[in-house]
Amino acid sequence: MLTIHHLNRSRSKRVLWLLEELGTPYTRVDHQRDSLTYLAPNSLKAVHPLGKAPVMIDGPITLCESSTIVEYIIDQDSEHRLRPPLGSAEYYDYMSWCHFAEGSLALPIIMSGLMRAETRDGKQPMDGYIAKEAHVDFSYIETTLSKQAYFAGSEFTAADIMMTISLEMAKRAKLLEGKTHTLAYLEKVQQRPAYIKAISFG
Ligand SMILES: N[C@@H](CCC(=O)N[C@@H](CS)C(=O)NCC(=O)O)C(=O)O
């Protein structure tokens, strides 16, 4: 049975909604945001180092990222309902929108929320939020790369291509200082012939 760690007023609603649509059985564990900072409680950090919701646990598998959890749940469904057939044009539209939601769209929405908080004698100023996010995310990345060669384990995958470009931006923004494993990883993947060929195109 799947366990979903749910935080009130959060993206874990996506996962609960999907499970309800499919009628997939699950156990829900509730966590409550701090009423002042609106941050997640420490109980979520005990479940996953990012301390964010949603988190899904299924036996030995613990997953964060709502989009990954959504794919996992649909993979388990015998008819793979609510996902167009793999390889169809609709499937790639589906994938684009799933990535768009957390990739392109999240930034302007979060930035506009932060700008509003900043101009309202915010209890949680923008700098503090960004520093906290950067610390949590880059520590998580550093720990991951201290234990394994690539993001998805011992083999290079497209997840490394996705992450490398983001890490290059982070490095330019001086967010990787002191992150020795992450910097070594970057140097390693940047030596791949296909990477070198890709950057030769400008
Ligand atoms: N990209 C992640 C975002 C996870 C995330 O930021 N979750 C928020 C709730 S929507 C959270 O747990 N925030 C509490 C905190 O950062 O303390 C996903 O889609 O699951």
* Cβ(136) – ligand 1 distance below 6 Å: no
Give the HSE-up count for residue 110: Cα atoms under 13 Å, Cβ half-sphere: 13
The answer, yes or no, to whether residue 126 has pLDDT greater than 70, is no
Cβ atoms of 171 and 183 closer than 8 Å: yes
90 part of a folded domain: no
Gap from CA of 147 to ligand 1 centroid (Å): 24
**Percentage of residues in the chain having pLDDT higher than 70:** 95
From the alpha carbon of 44, which atom of ligand 1 is closest? 12
Judge whether 92 lies within some domain.
no
Q: Ligand 1, residues 8, 17, 52, 132: which to mutate, most atoms within 8 A of Cβ?
A: 52
Give me the pLDDT at residue 36, please.
87
For 46, the domain range is 1-83
**Same-domain pairing of 200 and 140:** yes
pLDDT of residue 185: 98
**Domain-terminating residue out of 83, 110, 135:** 83
pLDDT digits (tens, 9 = 90+) for 52-93: 999 999 999 999 999 999 999 999 999 999 999 999 999 999
Q: Using the 3D structure, point to which of 83, 114, 143 is the last residue of a domain.
A: 83
Write the CATH number for 11. 3.40.30.10
Mean pLDDT for the chain overall: 92
State pLDDT tens for residues 100-116.
Answer: 999 998 888 888 877 77
**Distance from residue 6's CA to the centre of ligand 1 (Å):** 10
Whether 199 is covered by a domain: the verdict is: yes
- Does residue 121 register a pLDDT over 70? no
Q: Is residue 113 part of a domain?
A: no
Please give the residue that has the higher pLDDT: either 122 or 199: 199
Q: What is the CATH number of the domain that holds 166?
A: 1.20.1050.10
